Amino acid sequence: MKTFLLCIALISTAALYAQKKAKNDTLLILDFKTKKITEFENFKPRRDRTYNFQVTNINLNVYKLVINKTDTVVSTPLDFSAFSMLDPSGLASLTNSLVHTVSNKVDTRDAEESFNNELQGLSEKSKQYASIEAVFKEKTRILESLSILEELKKHDSILTARGKAIADLSKVYSEYYTTTVARFNRDDLSNNDFCVNNDSIIAFERNTNNYRKKLDELAESYDEAAEDFAEFVLNQKIAIKDDKLRGTAARIQKKIDDTKAEIKKIQSKVSEENIKIVLTKFSDIINNASRTYTSLPLQFNGDKSKLDISIIPQDKESRLPSYHSTYLLPKPSGFYLGIGPGLYYSNLYDDRFSTVGFAATDSTSNYRMIAEKQSRNEIGLSVLLKAGWKLRRCDKIGFHGTIGGGLSFTDPLRLRALYGGGISIGEKHCLTLDLLGSTGYVDVQSNTVNEQTIFTERPESMTVSVLRTKLAFSIGYLFTF
């Protein structure tokens, strides 16, 4: 029994030393510009090494890279975060809102038509008044209301023109801003039609400063027109008691308030603080546009490995394409090494005899040996080390050589040396079938005796131990390293 345990220990130690220390000397490189993996056909993954996945020529300011490695042992997602894209929609939205606000003139047609109808119908209603002076006074009131209404229209026209100047200027800058941001956000920053560099940042800052200065001047001019309108309304406070005039003045004032609010939002959007953030983002984009990203070490532990690669736009609303691909890693060979237990069936067996006594004289007895009926085979437990190769077209089936030890279920227990070859079915965990040679000691009949031999005393042993080899068959389990 001690010999058997020593044999098992030696086999296990040999299997452990068969595994080499992990090395990290291989790169699997994806060139995003050509959409090809460099030297993919020559990439030979081994389970005793680690690898790095590297992506070159990719702008991670624009794209998000996700790698998922899967094999029969482990599944590991690797998510590489990157700089978020700049969003130009905010300024464009504010500008469009301003354009809409200033382009809507206050409608005075109903008020003007009402006053004219009152003027035309005054002669017909003259009988209702007590005197000519009352008629004249009413006519004067209507004419003054029409005059005030005309002044309100003039103020609205001035405010509209100055607001439109701001909107037109902002629209031009918004288009410039959007185009510039789009150029920084795109995939290939080295395109010849617009080379993004530090000069681009300087030009953007200069143009923005000029726009901000002009915007402040136009906003000040608009404020002056708004103050003139407020002063006019204040001076005509007594005259503007008519509901129609008061309603017109209120609508103009609301338009002024809305326009001022939108101008302030645009001024805030292009303020020095916010533009500084944009410039910093531009600088980050330039500094990181050409970086190559390398994954942490990946180790392929199973018999079947693959890489899932997803390259997704950072901005989900952008029109940039997404890329998804799965790479089944090539296997340079199907070599496998493993160890596992099993049951074996062998043609080895022990000869077994018994003795029978008979009376030779009245006082003495003699003995004769008799062969016992027995099974000419044995069954036992095996522990086998196996090394072999998987089929290329069906990597779940492999052929291997086998060496190991066995322990028979006999009395007494006997150690067996087992060797041969067989087939495995599975990947990491396999079912094995082996045809073996089984070598070990068995008890056979001694040449000095036979069934006709008569013993005067009961013999202690009629067999001798000899080393023999017979065929054996084994079925078992295999765990591959």
CATH number at residue 151: 1.20.58
Tokens 């030779």, residue located: 360
Domain membership of residue 17 (yes or no) is no
The predicted structure's pLDDT at residue 428: 81
For residue 212 the two structure tokens come to 């901000």
The predicted structure's pLDDT at residue 430: 93
| Rounded-to-10 torsion of CA 234, 237, 241, 245 | -40
CB atoms within 10 A of CB 20: 10
Is the domain of 126 the same as that of 219?
A: yes
In order along its 481 residues, the chain shows pLDDT tens digits of 444 445 545 445 444 444 444 444 567 788 888 888 776 666 666 666 777 788 887 777 677 788 776 554 444 444 444 344 455 667 788 888 888 887 777 766 666 666 666 655 555 555 555 555 665 666 666 677 777 778 888 888 888 899 999 999 998 998 888 888 877 766 555 543 445 567 778 888 899 999 999 999 999 999 999 999 888 888 876 566 677 777 888 888 888 999 999 999 989 888 888 888 888 877 777 766 556 777 777 776 655 577 788 888 877 777 788 888 887 765 556 788 899 999 999 999 888 887 787 777 777 788 788 778 777 889 999 999 999 988 877 778 999 999 999 999 988 899 999 999 999 998 888 999 999 999 999 988 887 777 777 777 777 778 888 999 999 999 999 998 7
The predicted structure's pLDDT at residue 332: 54
Is the domain of 262 the same as that of 354?
A: no
432 burial class (0-12, 13-18, 19+ CB within 10 angstroms)?
buried
Is the domain of 473 the same as that of 354?
A: yes
Whole-number Å distance between alpha carbons of 208 and 275: 8
CB atoms within 10 A of CB 32: 19
Is the domain of 74 the same as that of 197?
A: no
Residue 248's nearest CA partner among 117, 102, 150 is 150
CATH number at residue 476: 2.40.160
Structurally, the chain folds into a number of domains equal to 3
Is the domain of 317 the same as that of 360?
A: no
Domain membership of residue 38 (yes or no) is yes
Is the domain of 203 the same as that of 128?
A: yes
Is the domain of 322 the same as that of 371?
A: no
Is the domain of 303 the same as that of 354?
A: no
Secondary structure of the chain in HEC code, one letter for each residue: CHHHHHHHHHHHHHHHHCCCCCEEEEEEEEECCCCEEECHHHCCCCCCEEEEEEEECCCCCCEEEEEEEEECCCEEEEEECCCCCCCCHHHHHHHHHHHHHHHCCCCCHHHHHHHHHHHHCCCCCHHHCCCHHHHHHHHHHHHHHHHHHHHHHHHHHHHHHHHHHHHHHHHHHHHHHHHHHHHHHCCCCCCCCCCCCHHHHHHHHHHHHHHHHHHHHHHHHHHHHHHHHHHHHHHCCCCCCCHHHHHHHHHHHHHHHHHHHHHHHHHHHCCHHHHHHHHHHHHHHHHHCCCCEECCCEECCCCCEEEEEEEEECCCCCCCCCEEEEEECCCCCCEEEEEEEEEEEECCCCCCEEEEEEECCCCCEEEEEEECCCCCCEEEEEEEEEEEEECCCCCCEEEEEEEEEEEECCCCCCEEEEEEEEEEEECCEEEEEEEEEEEEEEEEECCCCCCCCEECCCCCCCEEEEEEEEEEEEEEEEEEC
CATH number at residue 34: 2.60.40
Residue 148's nearest CA partner among 242, 253, 226 is 242
Domain membership of residue 280 (yes or no) is no
Whole-number Å distance between alpha carbons of 174 and 294: 38
Whole-number Å distance between alpha carbons of 243 and 250: 10
The CA–CA distances, whole Å, from 474 to 300, 324, 346, 379 equal: 31, 46, 9, 10
pTM of the model: 0.45
Range of the domain at 354: 335-480
Contact (Cβ atoms closer than 8 angstroms) between residue 398 and residue 336: yes
Is the domain of 64 the same as that of 112?
A: no
* Residue that terminates a domain, selected from 226, 244, 270: 270
Contact (Cβ atoms closer than 8 angstroms) between residue 463 and residue 446: yes
For residue 404 the two structure tokens come to 């190991």
